[in-house]
């Protein structure tokens, strides 16, 4: 299932969401060379978050083959402490990048709408750091670099689950050569997604932080739970009220509607 859009209007331009998307695109093109050369691999090795480097539990010099003729080696550079933030803007390939961009655009603008730009920026960063901490906790000795915005975006999805559970999300279902778009309630979409992360991740516990199919599922789970837990600390009630009044005036909401 792929989310295409939500039946959920905004009343303010999602400035931070757009800036994050722009930063991700810029890093992909400038730092990672759009994935067409060795810069992608080298940036992942140098700037990706390696749990074993942060905890000091991975042996220095331990090499991890990451591509033909290329290895990532565990080191103790000072730069490693910046990787929990820097790695949020890196991606491992076009599919990884496009998936994260789509999820952030579908869910991020509505959350920013009720938090305001500064709070949303802080919320996004908080969820991303919580996601990184969850992945490190799940595999503290792992030498595998983790990159991607999906941990922080998972936090945005957790916030959406709390604030807009009844909003319908247009989901694309693809079965071989056939496809269909079906609107589903957000709570169902997000619970299905979280269940899938747990189904993939639980068998991996106790295997030294091995990534399930190359996916940092515990970062996803940690980010989502952080979003659920912290969302109420960042939401601004006056913006919620403002949004409701504006949508009612446009005829997009009725006075009796819930937290849409």
DSSP the chain: -EEEEES---SS--HHHHHHHHHHHHIIIIISGGGSSHHHHHHHHHHSB-HHHHHT-SPTT-EEEEETTEEEE----GGGGGHHHHGGG--SSHHHHHHHHHHHHHHHHHHHHHH-HHHHHHHHHHHHHHHHHHHHHH-TT----B--SHHHHHHHHHHHHHH-TTSEEEEEEEETTEEEEEEEEHHHHHHHHHHHHHHHHGGGTTSTT--BTTB-HHHHHHHHHHHHHHHHHH--HHHHHHHHHHHHHTTSS-TT----
Alpha carbons 136 and 129: distance in angstroms, whole number: 11
How would residue 24 be classed by pLDDT, with cut points 50, 70 and 90? very high
**How much is the average pLDDT of 161-172?**
92
How would residue 214 be classed by pLDDT, with cut points 50, 70 and 90? low
Give domain status of residue 135, yes or no: yes
Give domain status of residue 257, yes or no: no
Among 82-86, 197-201, 225-229, 249-253, the range scoring the smallest mean pLDDT is 249-253
Give domain status of residue 15, yes or no: yes
Give domain status of residue 146, yes or no: yes
Give domain status of residue 192, yes or no: yes
More confident residue, 107 or 2: 107
Q: Is pLDDT at 248 greater than 90 in this prediction?
A: no
Distances (CA, A) of 217 to 33, 165, 204, 248, 260: 26, 22, 10, 39, 29
What domain count does the chain have? 1
Q: Is pLDDT at 260 greater than 50 in this prediction?
A: no
Instruction: Encode pLDDT of 167-203 as tens digits.
Output: 999 988 887 777 888 899 999 999 999 999 988 888 7
C-beta neighbour count of 138 within 10 angstroms: 24
Give the CATH number of the domain where residue 206 resides. 1.20.1540.10
How would residue 254 be classed by pLDDT, with cut points 50, 70 and 90? low
Q: Is pLDDT at 109 greater than 90 in this prediction?
A: yes
User: Are the C-beta atoms of 190 and 159 separated by less than 8 Å?
Assistant: no
How would residue 256 be classed by pLDDT, with cut points 50, 70 and 90? very low
Buried b (16+ CB within 10 A) or exposed e, 104-131: bbbbbbbbbbbbbbebbbebbebbbbbb
How would residue 258 be classed by pLDDT, with cut points 50, 70 and 90? very low
Q: Is pLDDT at 247 greater than 50 in this prediction?
A: yes
Domain that holds residue 86: 2-249
- Computed over every residue of the chain, the mean pLDDT equals 88
Instruction: Encode pLDDT of 125-156 as tens digits.
Output: 999 999 999 999 988 998 989 999 999 999 99
Give domain status of residue 254, yes or no: no
């Amino acid at each position: 299932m792929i989310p295409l859009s939500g039946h959920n209007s905004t009343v303010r331009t999602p400035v931070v969401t757009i800036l994050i998307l722009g930063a991700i695109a810029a890093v992909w093109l400038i730092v990672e060379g759009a994935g067409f050369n060795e810069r992608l691999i080298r940036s992942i090795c140098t700037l990706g978050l390696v749990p074993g480097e942060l905890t000091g539990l991975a042996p220095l010099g331990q090499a991890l083959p990451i591509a033909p003729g290329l290895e990532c080696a565990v080191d103790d550079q000072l730069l490693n402490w910046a990787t929990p933030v820097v790695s949020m803007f890196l991606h491992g390939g076009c599919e990884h990048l496009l998936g994260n961009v789509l999820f952030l655009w579908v869910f991020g603008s509505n959350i920013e709408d009720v938090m305001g730009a500064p709070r949303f920026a802080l919320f996004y960063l908080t969820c991303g750091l919580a996601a990184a901490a969850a992945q490190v906790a799940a595999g503290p000795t792992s030498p595998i670099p983790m990159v991607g915005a999906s941990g922080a975006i998972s936090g945005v999805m957790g916030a959406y689950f709390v604030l807009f559970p009844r909003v319908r999300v247009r989901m694309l279902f693809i079965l071989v050569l056939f496809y269909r778009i079906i609107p589903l309630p957000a709570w169902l979409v997000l619970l299905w997604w979280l269940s899938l992360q747990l189904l993939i991740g639980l068998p991996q516990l106790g295997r030294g932080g091995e990534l399930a199919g190359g996916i940092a599922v515990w970062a996803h789970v940690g980010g989502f739970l952080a979003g659920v837990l912290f969302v109420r600390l960042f939401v601004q009630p006056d913006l919620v009220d403002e949004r409701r009044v504006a949508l009612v005036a446009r005829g997009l909401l009725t006075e009796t509607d819930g937290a849409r």
